[in-house]
Amino acid sequence: MRLGYGFLGLVLSFTTTVSSLEARELPTLAPVETQAQAAHLSAQFLTRYAYRPVPLDDDLSEKIMNQFIKSLDPDRMLFAKADIDRFMADSKKIDDAILGEDLTIPFSIFSTYSQRVVDRMTYAQSLLNQDFDFTTQEEFSVQREKAAWAGSDDESKELWRKRVKNDWLRLKIAGQTDEAIRKTLGKRYQNIMDRVYTYKSDDAFQTFMAAYTTSIDPHTDYFGAKASAEFDISMKLSLVGIGAVLQDRDGYTTIRELVAGGPAQLSGKIAVGDRIIGVGQGEEGAIEEVVGNRLDEVVQLIRGKENSVVRLDILPVDAGESGSHRVINLVREKISLEKQAASKKVLSVEENGTTRKIGVIALPTFYEDFDARQKGDKDYRGASRDVAKLLGELKQENVDGVLIDLRDNGGGSLSEAIEMTGLFVGKGPVVQQRNTEGEIRVDSDDLSKPAWTGPLGVLINRGSASASEIFAAAIQDYGRGVIIGDPSFGKGSVQTVVNLDRMTKSRDANLGELKLTIAQFFRIDGGTTQLRGVTPDIGLPGLTDPKTFGEASYDNALPWTQIKPAKHKTLGDMEALVPELQQRHDVRVKKDADFQRFVEDVEELKVQREKPTISLNEAQRRKEMEAVTARLKARQEADGSVSPEDDGLQSGERSLSADLALENARKNAKDVLRTEAAAIVADQAAMLAKAGKAGK
């Protein structure tokens, strides 16, 4: 799955530099030579070696232009029709710009985008000096992806008047005073504007290249040096640093979380909420002030080589802006990102007086330390190794069944998905690949004996993609376990990452990396997970909108197709079990109040999602809110659950403690889907035991 670049959405989630009401000149962003070279070299690869080559011509040029504009202004709230007309006059010149290594056009568009953000936020702030009339009947459009662009300055101002009025009304209904609302929104709009002044050439180029690559296919991508480094960290599940999660809060780089056992936590000199106001290198390195700096820049200063020293100038959480601060030295260490690693939990499922233990293994991603594995490190980190260890522990705990939770697992290492499949099926084919020449290769696991032969379930949702779908599909095709949940994403394509520097004679070019599609996945039954995904044996309600999320939501996705099945021997007959599993599930959830409330939430979300507009009338909005509040109160009285009410605030606008409390509340909320999936695996265990087929 790819990372999207919707820049307005990106800036809305950040609180960055210290506010300033003084008129400032926007930074002049211009392409550098290496960026033009990287774009040209990427074009050569994409037109020659992509799985579905697309010529870089006028047709593709127009698609790139449309995608670029959409990524900058997805809700059509920033640009005016005159801007769009001017952009589209050059829409057939993007191909020439790339091939001619002249990126003036996209950089000019990005500059216009930056100016429009300043224009709109300046106007939004000016509206805070007036009072709004909330007794009138007005509607604010919340679905503007295909709306007409503002044809005049007056139309644009009217759009933003309603936008600000809606922001104000949310805070008003949440109980804030007019004075507090003016302060909150003034700060919000200033922070959005301030972010624009921190943009650099890399931001404009990365956004343009994302528009180009996604115009080829949804999963082709370009990584600049920073993006490439973050990708490596996510796959290795480790980095060298101080062991702290950082966040921008009002211009300060703030400690959001301390990693247990990391240098920051062990020092005893840093606390959650502390602010980093300066960073120095080495034991005697000069301190560089970082107040107002971009978070990614501060992070790069803090990270470094293992066993090296970083100096931090800390302003304690309880100190004012002019309070006393202290300088501390920390030795950087290799930090393990355990939150993204496989984890286990044992759930007890009671049914008809019998209690069965189901081991749940949650896997957020199929990670693998590629470098360590290539170097022959026998202890390299990998998802399948961690899962194998957890399975051993669950066997020691005598669980009756295992549930693999792959919800929102967007994929990762193909080899790890193959090896993890082997833990449950042993030696045999797992997935087929067809390359650009039409050649088909069967990838198999060679594990002689599976690590777990007992009852098995796999829980998926719309966010389960790529490697997750390969694993789930193989388990399903082997008849090895029951697939539970929501239809998966539908990403059945294979990507490889090309280091563009290696394609040039210069070792210091720093051109970045290109991820391009080179093949397509096929299940061992011959079908593909592309477009259609994996269909669960037992369906559960999902929260996502399949019209806007998933492979089928892309207009240039590869089609579904089929090849010959790979030779394999099924290991079980899940088709024979599914009817009774479904019947037991249906009976159970009808009596499960928590599950039925979740179904209500899904239906309510669907209704809200399909509303094209929202009322700006206070009485009507309060009536709607009262209905929601009554429903939440009834739920609390029934089961004691606490659901936070809408406070109208965005992340970073609450206190850090309030943000963390909200995050913990969501994290600790009842997981009715996991509970029901475990019950389905328990049913499977009971049925197999009755038939004398339950293994371990």
Active site residues: 466, 477, 491
**Residue closest to 274 by CA, chosen among 322, 317, 220, 332:** 317
Element (H, E) at 315: strand 309-315
Written as one string, the DSSP assignment of 605-626 is: HHHHHT-SEEE--HHHHHHHHH
For 335, residues 6+ apart whose C-beta sits below 8 A from its C-beta are 238, 239, 240, 241, 242, 243, 259, 262
N- to C-terminal Cα distance for the chain? 34
Question: 694, 665, 680, 652: which is closest to 188 by C-alpha?
Answer: 652
Residue 57 has a CB neighbour count (10 Å cut-off) of 12
Which residue, chain included where needed, has tokens 């026998």? 378
Give me the half-sphere count of Cα atoms (radius 13 Å) on the Cβ side of residue 279: 20
- The alpha carbon of residue 477 and the mean position of all alpha carbons in its chain are separated, in whole angstroms, by 29
Residue corresponding to tokens 């809200």: 608
**Rounded to whole angstroms, how far apart are CA atoms 138 and 25?**
36
CA 413-414-418 angle, 5° bins: 120
Residues 6+ apart with CB under 8 A from 140: 162, 163, 165, 166, 613, 614, 615, 616
Q: Which stretch of DSSP H or E encloses residue 600?
A: helix 593-609
Q: How far is CA 409 from CA 18, 301, 527, in A?
A: 37, 30, 21
Answer whether 93's CB lies under 8 Å from 129's CB.
Answer: no
Tally Cβ neighbours within 10 Å of residue 541.
Answer: 19
Which of 552, 427, 434, 554 is closest to 478 using CA atoms?
A: 427
| Structure tokens given for 564 | 């010959």
Q: Which of 588, 598, 601, 578 is nearest to 673 (CA)?
A: 598
Largest CA distance in the chain: 78
Q: Quick one: which of 583, 508, 540, 566 has its CA closest to 225?
A: 508
Q: Are 310 and 262 contacting, i.e. CB atoms less than 8 angstroms apart?
A: no
Element (H, E) at 53: none
Q: Which two tokens stand for residue 246?
A: 């950082």
Residue that is written with structure tokens 């980095």 in the block: 239
C-alpha 210/C-alpha 102 separation (Å) is 17
Which is it for strands 428-435 and 401-405: parallel, antiparallel or unpaired?
A: unpaired
The answer to whether the CB of 11 falls within 8 A of the CB of 72 is no
